[in-house]
Amino acid sequence: MRATTRFSGGDLRWWTLATLFLCARLWSSSSPSLTAAADERVVTHLPGFQGPLPFQLRTGYVEVDESNGVRLFYYFTASEGSPADDPLMLWLSGGPGCTSFTGLVYQIGPLSFDLGGYTGGLPKLVYRLESWTKVSNIIFLDSPVGTGFSYSVREQGYNSSDTRAVNQIVIFLKKWFDEHPEFLSNPLYIGGDSYSGIIVPTVTSEIAKGNEVGSEPYLNLKGYLVGNPFADFSGFDEPSKIPFAHRMALISDQIYECVKDIFPFHILEPLCAYASPHEYSFLKLKMDSGIQKMQHLQDYTGERLSLSEISTECRTMLYTLSRLWANNVTVREALGIHKETVPLWLRCNNNIQYLKDIQSSVKYHLDVTTKGYRSLVYSGDHDMAVPYIGTQSWIRSLNFSIVDDWRPWYADGQVAGNVTVSLTIGIYVMCRYTTSYSNNLTFATVKGAGHTAPEYNPRQCLAMLSRWLAGDPI
């Protein structure tokens, strides 16, 4: 005869609660990246992507200004290696005003749009093999407010600046870690490109200061990385453009004819207007500072421009697909977007209320690196928006000594760029190399890449990141 166990009402309730608690603990320990915070959604499927996502994705909001109701939106992608052990990177896109979705889908994330054969409707998404999530957890943050899906309840909350954005990013991180304490022990890196070259080292410096004075929670900050970064527009970035053009054999006696029709973010890439079979009907004149006329494509959603009329050779057509995708109702539902907060999503919002009140980030680079934090600065060597020689110049100004001289670095058996490790700077060989300096600063160029290097050379950039995170020579 089989024995039976009888429970009283109180015992049964206790046993049930204990069982549920144990199951929850087992589930969270086996899949820590699937435990969602209060205002966060676990996303297993996305409109436009066939089947379940082959990686772990969460989306959510963190309030960073309670008085105005400022809520910053983020995409969190867990590492495809070991989420519990791999580094955690906060990724910020440039602009200011460009969504971090740019990083997620166009540069370093596990998704990409399928351009081939697009005939209309919801754009298709595909899995990107060369994602940086192979070696790192990544938070893609829409900052400043007014960027991507980030919003403010009160109108005055949209007033932002470099310093305000930095402060809100630090608040975001601390609140995010409060909701995700399981990642507090992971090595933390702050990363970004383009205009975030102003923001990233400043955020890193503020986190370091917070750790020094005992701010809670303590963040396991290890360093930062910036790609083709703005650092000092008038001092280094802008003055480097003419010397760069000369080195790249762009300047001749007909300098104006040579320069006017090139795409400044990659010197060998034509303006997308010229990839259209009806190029001139899609051009408009725009006054730049009241002095210089510049040609721009008509708004992609305008009646005069059809996606089917743009050549697939136009790489930046992919940017148009993001606008179609992110403004789709089913997409917004899948991402958990708060209704009626962002009527029209823009990849880059050029109308944000923003004050550029940090003129140079060089002092923040100096502050962070001299405290022992690691830094990786990389540049696509075909970028004329932020030429690598300007980046070299401000790195020289730090007066660090070189510990690994200017040398080529390789990926897939080919020269992928040049690298220098730490800096007083000696003689540079004009190749694609790397240099390592004292104070854990590494500078690398990426051969043939434009302003957003991973977008042009994803395999090489993943190799670069993997080696750097592992502490290996690039």
Catalytic residues: 194, 383, 451
Strands 137-141 and 88-92: parallel
In contact, 146 and 154? CB cutoff 8 Å: no
Q: How far is CA 121 from CA 47, 298, 313, 321, in A?
A: 11, 21, 20, 10
Name the nearest CA neighbour of 128 among 54, 44, 75, 45.
Answer: 54
- Residue 122 DSSP symbol: S
The answer for residues whose C-beta is within 8 angstroms of residue 151's C-beta and 6 or more apart is 70, 71, 73, 145, 338, 341, 342
DSSP readout, 53-90?
-SS-EEEEEEEEETTTTEEEEEEEE--SS-TTTS-EEE
Q: Please give the backbone phi and psi of residue 167, each rounded to the nearest 5 degrees, phi first.
A: -60, -40
The residue type at 196: S
Name the nearest CA neighbour of 348 among 141, 93, 166.
Answer: 93
**CA quadruple 221, 222, 228, 232: dihedral sign:** positive
Q: Helices (DSSP H) in 336-470: which residue ranges? A: 362-370, 388-396, 453-456, 458-470
Rounded to 10°, the helix 196-212/162-179 angle is: 60
HSE at residue 463, side-chain half, CA atoms within 13 A, is: 18
Please give the Cα distance from 272 to 83 (Å, whole number): 39
Token pair recorded at residue 59? 């989306």
207 Cα distance to chain centroid:
19
Q: Please give the backbone phi and psi of residue 71, each rounded to the nearest 5 degrees, phi first.
A: -125, 120
The residue type at 335: L
Rounded to 10°, the helix 362-370/196-212 angle is: 40
- Residue 424 DSSP symbol: S
Strands 57-65 and 70-77: antiparallel
The answer for residues whose C-beta is within 8 angstroms of residue 70's C-beta and 6 or more apart is 63, 64, 145, 150, 151, 152, 153, 157, 168
